[in-house]
Structure 1
Amino acid sequence: MFEYRRIESVKDYLDLMRFSFGIPGGWMRSASKHASEVFDDDLRDPIGAYDGSTLAAEYLLLSLKMRLRDSVVAMCGIGNVCTSPLYRGKGAVKFLMERSLETMREKKQAVSLLYPFNAGFYRKLGWEEFDSMLRVKFSPGMINVPEQYCEVNTEEMEDADSDIREFYNDYASSHYTMILRDGEMWKNDFEFRTDEDVSKKFVKFKKEGKTTGMLRYVFLYDNFDKDRSLKFVVTMFLADDIVTRHAMFRFLKGLSLQIGHVHAYLPPDFVLWPYLSDRPSEMNIILRTMIRIVDLELLNGLKINAPDMRVGIKISDKQASWNNGVFEMCMKDGELCFSRSDSYDLECDIETLSSVVGGKSDFREMIEFGRVKATNSYNGQDLSKTTPFVLQHF
């Protein structure tokens, strides 16, 4: 029923997005400028499901890089998924998601991430829960850090300079499962402004002439609050060492005469309580992305801190025939390899395997939950769990 093709009309793309996400006029002006640039970007593909000449559904495929285990891999972020009201429940989004796998495979993208509107829907298509973040709210006056014994220089700027950009991507390449930022993401940070924004700044921290930390904050009127309150939100808080981290907390403490509360987004394993004299007024773990393996063999060479092992896995993947069947998963000298096989020790679907390879879970846990079936030949071979944290929104 549908045709899969690149969207040529910026207006059609924006009209569908505006209706689906309820984007107000102020945001739409900024979104329109950003969308026009997206259409000229080789790393951004606005794709639609067409019924004749009618755009039934759309999404944006972003060619990105992320840290997965101990490697940096090519991945595809799927954003702006939306449907025309005339085509709700008629399979347009499912059509797009299934076709996306072919596109991603052609581009040699090993995995895909997305922000789900319905986790159950995407799970049926092979995606599984992945990263989360810690959302906290606290008074800056509560911050309690040791006296500074090493000089850390602080510089505030509206646009990230080359030092911050290099620091961020170096940090992302070696921590958690962070997405590396490309030029469009930095440009969007600087140019995307709405009437609700009071201030958006980056803060650079340097020690002994080297950038060792960065912080990004947004000061804005939050339309999602009933009282449309003014909020100070820390969206990035990255430090190479404890001295720099202390300096970053001191920077936030210095805002206590002007800012009533800091809202911060942090890694889920961030240990905050030693830095505060009292408990935060709010503290929640927020589920974020879902992950999917696009092509098992594109993961070959992935570096993982795991012992040498071999285990046969019978994999069910209804959307990607190239992943369907029996594979041997081998770890040799810290590198992962999948190859076709005839025998298996475990049986699972692609979404469960995606969560194990991604580090969200492990085989032992998935066997306990009934998501993996083990045969008598299984000897406990497994991959250790990690802490997924993507940070970058798309």
Structure 2
Amino acid sequence: MELRKLTAGDYEACMALSEYAFQFTMTEDQLERRREEFSKHNVLGVYADGQVGAKLQIIPFQTYIHGRSFEMGGIAGVATWPEYRRKGWVAGLLKYALEEMNRNKQSISFLHPFAFSFYRKYGWETYVEYKKYKLSTSELPAKKQTPGTIKRGNPELAVLKQVYETYAARYNGSLNRDGAWWENSVYIKKGSKRAVYYDEADVPQGYVFYEVKDSKFTIGEMIHLNEEARQGLWTFIANHDSMINEVTLQAPASDMLAFQLDNPRIQQEVVPYFMARIVSVEQFISQYPFASQDSPVQIWLEVEDAYAPWNEGVWELNVAMNGTASIWKKAESEREDQHDQRIRLNIQSLTAVLMGYRRPAEMAQIGRMEGSATAIQALEKAIPHRETYLLDFF
């Protein structure tokens, strides 16, 4: 068994494994398009018996956290041939991937789990969920006249990016999409029909990607920057009422659609979605924009991380009044000090609170971090409030 980076020469073997493991078949055109993407990813594999026995890929992304763009490694395509499973190869690949991302300054990593419990063992934790809606035409929001206009068709990418980037930066964990991602993922997966809402000044304030088929209006992505745009887009959707029986979509977990309906008893489901993991405590926190403080804050973080030993240990975190942070690992001789601002937690819990998915007080209440009340309160005040959301899949 040999663990190593894979190259362009391994492409066909990797695609054969993916098709088998994830039960799909690609056309020749799709295979060629994926070949170009493969060359841009960091693909790691286990070789055994002269073939690729297991593999994963690290996709280079950027993600918004408190309005700032962070380098992120997206783990995808984790697969093993059935005859090689339960040999610990995926564990080895994940540890190798953490080392690679750490070297490449990707301080945070996301993945979509087949089982949350599996990836929690290696340090990833739930960071986002979304609401999934299904509405009949009789349940749709009431049509309202708005001062803006809807333009249906194929808007320029610059228009969509303008709306998306303003919206995505409001959340933690949304992708900072580049042009290639729009072309190769968003346009292909979100629906071929598009409409943009423009306000009276002809400024784009929202859009929807959708499909209408078999009397169903399927929303692949809907974004609105204000209430006017929300009403305008829903009126556009409701104007399809003679063609459709139902509408499906997803929205942030805090979305208030049901509350805004005359009858809030609609079909809705909260879906746990992606997981995140801090790859480097030092790199991540050094970039992290903490909340402004009345006075400087010092907290000791005792972090457990079995799969990324560079994170393991006691860290001194100092947050300045303007929210900038410095952090360094304490020497062995200093770690026994019973500092009253000391908090003990594992990398999963640290990730959940810094991503904004859970608050420090909540995590302390359920035993996911330990520390004095003053230390927990100091961390609570230092972390800004911002919801997590992710509109993409990889």
CA deviations over 1:318-354 (Å, ceiling 9, x no partner): 1112111100122221223322233451111111111
3-state SS of the aligned residue for 1:298? helix
Which residue does the alignment assign to 2:204?
211
Equivalent-residue separation in structure 2 for 1:145 and 1:186 (angstroms): 32
CA deviations over 1:347-375 (Å, ceiling 9, x no partner): 11111111111111222222222221225
Which residue does the alignment assign to 2:174?
178
Which residue does the alignment assign to 2:162?
166
Residue 135 of structure 1 contacts residue 266 of structure 1 at CA under 8 Å; is this kept in 2?
yes
Equivalent-residue separation in structure 1 for 2:216 and 2:29 (angstroms): 20
TM score, norm. by length of structure 1: 0.88
Residue 161 of structure 1 and its aligned partner are, at CA, apart by 2.5
Among candidates 320, 339, 349, match of residue 308 of structure 2: 320
Structure 1 position 297 matched with structure 2 position 260: no
Which residue does the alignment assign to 1:3?
3
Equivalent-residue separation in structure 2 for 1:238 and 1:376 (angstroms): 40
Among candidates 227, 231, 256, match of residue 242 of structure 1: 227
Equivalent-residue separation in structure 2 for 1:321 and 1:283 (angstroms): 41
Equivalent-residue separation in structure 2 for 1:190 and 1:279 (angstroms): 31
The alpha-carbon distance between structure 1 residues 230 and 47, as it changes in their structure 2 partners (threshold 3 A), is: farther
Give, as a single letter, the amino acid of the residue that structure 2 aligns with 1:311: I
Structure 1 position 116 matched with structure 2 position 113: yes
My pick for the range that moved more, 129-138 or 102-111, is 102-111
Greater percentage in helix: 2
Which residue does the alignment assign to 1:22?
23
Give, as a single letter, the amino acid of the residue that structure 2 aligns with 1:179: L
Structure 1 position 367 matched with structure 2 position 364: yes
Q: Give aligned pairs, total.
A: 377
CA deviations over 1:282-335 (Å, ceiling 9, x no partner): 200000111100111112031133534221011111111211110012222122
How large is the Cα RMSD of the aligned pairs? 2.4
TM score, norm. by length of structure 2: 0.88
| Superposition map of 1:1-394 within 5 A | 1-8=1-8, 9-23=10-24, 25=25, 28=27, 31-40=30-39, 42=40, 44-51=41-48, 53-145=50-142, 147-157=144-154, 161-189=157-185, 192=188, 200-207=192-199, 208-219=201-212, 231-279=216-264, 281-299=266-284, 300-305=286-291, 307=293, 308-332=296-320, 333-341=322-330, 342=334, 343=337, 344=339, 345-374=342-371, 378=375, 380-383=377-380, 384=383, 386-394=386-394
Residue 115 of structure 1 contacts residue 290 of structure 1 at CA under 8 Å; is this kept in 2?
yes
3-state SS of the aligned residue for 1:63? strand
The alpha-carbon distance between structure 1 residues 376 and 336, as it changes in their structure 2 partners (threshold 3 A), is: same
Identity of aligned residues (%): 22
Residue 145 of structure 2 contacts residue 232 of structure 2 at CA under 8 Å; is this kept in 1?
yes
Residue 208 of structure 2 contacts residue 220 of structure 2 at CA under 8 Å; is this kept in 1?
yes
Residue 48 of structure 1 contacts residue 56 of structure 1 at CA under 8 Å; is this kept in 2?
yes
CA deviations over 1:127-176 (Å, ceiling 9, x no partner): 1111001000002343234632412232322x762211232123222334
The alpha-carbon distance between structure 1 residues 337 and 108, as it changes in their structure 2 partners (threshold 3 A), is: same
Q: Structure 1: any 5+ residue segments left out of the alignment?
A: 221-228
